[in-house]
Structure formats: structure tokens, C-alpha cells
Amino acid sequence: GNSDTGGGGSGDGGNDKIVLGFSQVGAESGWRTANTNSIKESAAAAGIDLKFDDAQQKQENQIKAIRNFIQQKVDVIAFSPVVESGWDTVLKEAKDADIPVILTDRSVDSADKSLYKTFIGSDFVKEGRLSGEWLVEQTKSATGPVNIVELQGTTGSAPANDRKKGFTEAIAANPNLKIVASQSGDFTRAGGKQVMEQFLKANPKIDVLFAHNDDMGLGALEAITAAGKQPGKDITIITIDAVKDGMQALADGKFNFIAECSPLLGDQLMELVKKVHAGEEVPARVETEETTFTQEQAKAALPTRKY
Ligand code: AHR
């Protein structure tokens, strides 16, 4: 992957700085870019020496980056695991080297919770559930079937697994609501566009699109418009994240609802890094506060939106 060190110009006192190795998922979405910026800015502000690696959405790159951090004897390792499974070996290596690990944004499914100190991020199941509950409310007077297509995030990732779970559980309240097609668009605009084109070809009647992030929803807009349909009217669109471009689409009436997922984890992460480094107790889970947006709420929030 691409490595660089953040927060330059440390001068003579550089040796006293906490060294944090951070392995990022990639640069797949607007959310991810905002998250990376937040981490770099917060590290610089906190006086933490950040070694940043971009894994380009590949687990093998993340494992390599973590092994490099262990070899370099960084003080703390943080990472956002691209998928949930397959981390036990490398996490054990970090533990054996006495380097504390913090999970950021996405979680792992390791049974041994002693392999990491804490998790900071969102409740993805809740985001899916809030999306589904909004749809149940919108369609409560529908008499016939409501056909839903789902653009899933990266296969095997915590946000894809959890958002699907929360949404599916919520829509079970209305038997008219049916997911007629569901496929991964890998959290990217290009993926969202391509998979939505296939959905539109294969399904004559699509009433709702549930996209696991804004970027896939934004890609799907192009496919929907090209198919001669009006996004937000002919097809109700629900997404997750609430990054600027998504909020703009919502304010413009092209999206109908967004469940927020905050990428601004940097400050809280640096606090946890300092505590873990000092050997202080930290909570097992630190959750971000989030909300949801309708079209009217997006119009009101957009002018002051930070990302
Ligand atoms: O893990 C968070 C998810 O990853 C965001 O919702 C998505 O946009 C990003 O790619």
C-alpha cells in the first residue's frame, strides 16, 4: 500500500511522540475520504506521529501493513478492517508484541475479545433498522407488493452484514415489502451504477432502492435516469452516510431518506490512543452519535454540513 507519515515538523521532541500505525480500508467513498481527513487532522492536532497506510480495499494489504507496524514497533495500532473475518492470527502477533490495537469504524468477528482494546464507530444494525422503519411508515397504506432492490456494501464487511440485518428485520413488519434483488456494489459509485443497471434490466417493477451507502446510491442515480425513470419519484431511494453529495441529492429530491453514519472519528480515536498507550482503562465500545434525514431536514442541514 501507500505509506506516508502525517504530522511533520516534529523537531527534536519527535522521540516523545506516540507513534500510531493506522491501516485504512481504502478510498472507496466520500465517507472514507472524510474519515481519512479526520484521522490525519486529529493526529496532527493531538501531536501524535501517524503512520498511515491505504489498503485499497484488500485484506491482504491490511495484514501486511499491520505486520509492518509491528516490525517498526509502533506504540499503538488502529485499523478499520475491510471485512469482519480472518484477523485472529495477525491480531495475536500484535498482542504478543505488546502493541495495543484499536478497531476503528468496522469491527471484527474474533471470539477472543482480548485481541483488541476497544472499538470506536457506529451502530450499523441501527442504521439499517432506521432505514427500514422509515420505509415501513411510508408504505403502511400500500395494498400491493412493494419491490425493493438492495445495493450491498463490500461483501463480508461489518457495515454490509449489519445494515442488511437491521433493514431486513425492520421491513418484516410489513409483508408487502419484498427484497427482489440484492447484490454488492462494493461501496463505490461505479459499483452502484453497474449493479443498478443490471437490476433495472432484470426487474420490470422496482419501487424502492436501499443502498448501503450514499456513493452507491449516487452511482445508481445515473442508471435510473438513463433507464428513463425519475429517482426519488418513480423509485424511492434510501441510503446511508449523509456525506455532502448524498445530502445534496436528498435536498434535490433525488434521494428520499438517509441514515447518518459519522466519519468524524479522529478526535475520539486520538483520545483512546493516548489512554491505551498510558495503560488506562477504556470502554469496550465507543459509539458515535447519529441521526437521520428527510428531504426537508437535508435542506436545512446542508449549509453547515462539514463533509
Ligand atoms: O464502514 C463505513 C462504510 O464504509 C461507509 O458507510 C461507506 O461509505 C464506507 O465505504
Q: What is the pTM of this model?
A: 0.94
Q: How far is the CA of 258 from the centre of ligand 1 (A)?
A: 13
Kindly state if the Cβ of 213 falls inside 6 Å of ligand 1: yes
Ligand 1 touching residue 189 (CB < 6 A): no
Residuewise pLDDT in 10s, the chain (307 residues): 444 444 444 444 446 899 999 999 999 999 999 999 999 999 999 999 999 999 999 999 999 999 999 999 999 999 999 999 999 999 999 999 999 999 999 999 999 999 999 999 999 999 999 999 999 999 999 999 999 999 999 999 999 999 999 999 999 999 999 999 999 999 999 999 999 999 999 999 999 999 999 999 999 999 999 999 999 999 999 999 999 999 999 999 999 999 999 999 999 999 999 999 999 999 999 999 999 999 999 999 999 998 9
CB of 159 shorter than 6 A to ligand 1: yes
Cα angle for residues 23, 155, 246 (degrees, 5° grid): 80
The SS3 call for residue 5 is strand
For the packed helices 214-226 and 30-46, what is the interaxial angle rounded to 10 degrees?
A: 160
Collect all residues with Cβ–Cβ distance below 8 Å to 73 and sequence separation of at least 6: 97, 99
CA neighbor of 128 nearest in space, from 166, 95, 170, 94:
166
Q: How many angstroms is it from 15 CA to the middle of ligand 1?
A: 34
CA of 143 to the centre of ligand 1 (A): 34
Mapping DSSP onto H, E and C, the string for 214-258 reads HHHHHHHHHHHHHCCCCECCCEEEEEEECCHHHHHHHHCCCCCEE
Nearest alpha carbon, ligand 1 atom 3: 159
Q: Is 54 in the pocket of ligand 1 (CB under 6 A)?
A: no
Query: How far apart, in Å, do the first and last CA atoms of the chain sit?
Result: 25
The pick from 32, 79, 126 for probing ligand 1's pocket by mutation, whose C-beta has the most ligand atoms within 8 angstroms, reads 32
C-alpha cell at 198: 443490471
Residue 216 burial by Cβ neighbours in a 10 Å radius (0-12, 13-18, 19+): buried
